Amino acid sequence: MNATERSIVEQFPFWDGAPEPAIRADASKSYVVVGCGTSYYLAQCIAATMNLRGIQALAVPGSEWTHRAQAYVRDEKAVTVVALSRSGESTETVQAAERSRSVGIEVIGITCDRDSSLTRHSDHVIFAETHPQEGIVMTSSASLMVLMALRFIGVPVGPDVTREADRVMRELDAAIVPLLSGRSHFVYLGSGPLYGVAQEGSLKLQEMSLSYTQAYHPMEYRHGPISLVEARTLVVMLYSPEMLPEETKLVAELRAKGAAVIGLGGPGDLSISLDAEEILRGLICLPALQILGERLAVSRKIDSTAPRHLTKVVLVA
């Protein structure tokens, strides 16, 4: 077991040990959630969840918020910024936080590093310790930042959620290897708050196994991209309870065209139940998506602890 796998399968005690945030989201405010890479995809999930909970929010990449805030909101000073960064040192995220505070915008930092540039440029900090062996690929820290954000929003996340995430990961891990044989085209589908998680799952597989991946809203996939589906396609469907009939029909269509499907929360060649409401499903599925990336990397004899062209902290000179 390498360090990447260890940080995936051993992350759950860190979930249960994460402290409750000292600050909660205010429904009278509007929020912009910023991040880069994995953190931006998590921001998409978090912003969608906030909107579902009656809190206005928008996800924006860190560099876009720093340089083009007016393209996203009419009055940037009327929002509160929530900035996500595992290390608290990602250049674009730190710049977004620093610039926001310089013009009087309140900043809330969510991070796994208590003493970082992000914490110094935040009015409030939400912190949780991640697995000490986590390397370049974000695994435990990604899950923890979603967990902390959900609690910030007011969504209870307790040991029952931890147990469900552990079960889903282990069920997928026990059955996934045969489905990976001969696959070279990987597609992740999710709607609402699960779209950002689909993006993150796609990125994890790409980083860890150097594979070609795509992520779409489920119904959008039928408008062009479905033309690529063939026998070498593996689809991961993150089912939404509200979209279950439509997504089930789409999966049947994809399977008829030759794709194999992992159904998280619904039908598929590999079907794994999800005993949770939609706003918790993204967090619950993250470890399973992480172990999927690791298993494909192993099958291709790729070392996921040293992904090509990547570093643990992305710094821009």
Mean pLDDT by 10 residues, the chain (317 residues): 91 97 97 97 98 98 96 93 95 96 96 95 96 88 98 97 98 96 96 98 94 95 93 97 97 97 98 96 98 94 68 53
Q: Assess contact for 84 and 110: CB atoms under 8 A.
A: yes
Residue 301 neighbours by CB distance under 10 Å: 6
Question: Which pLDDT score, from 0 to 100, does residue 312 have?
Answer: 47
Residue 317 covered by a domain: no
Torsion of CA 219, 169, 57, 277, to 10 degrees: 80
Residue 311 covered by a domain: no
Question: Which pLDDT score, from 0 to 100, does residue 135 have?
Answer: 80
What CATH number is given to the structural domain containing 213?
Answer: 3.40.50.10490
Residue 228 covered by a domain: yes
Q: Same structural domain for residues 62 and 197?
A: no
Q: What is the pTM of this model?
A: 0.94
Choose the final residue of a domain: 136, 153, 170.
153
Q: Which structural domain, as residue segments, surrounds residue 225?
A: 159-299
Q: Same structural domain for residues 133 and 18?
A: yes
Residue type, 199: Q
Letter string b/e over residues 93-116, b meaning 16 or more CB atoms within 10 A of that residue's CB = bbbbbbbbbeeebbbbbbbbbeeb
Q: Same structural domain for residues 92 and 11?
A: yes
Question: Which pLDDT score, from 0 to 100, does residue 314 have?
Answer: 52
| Largest interatomic CA distance in the chain | 55
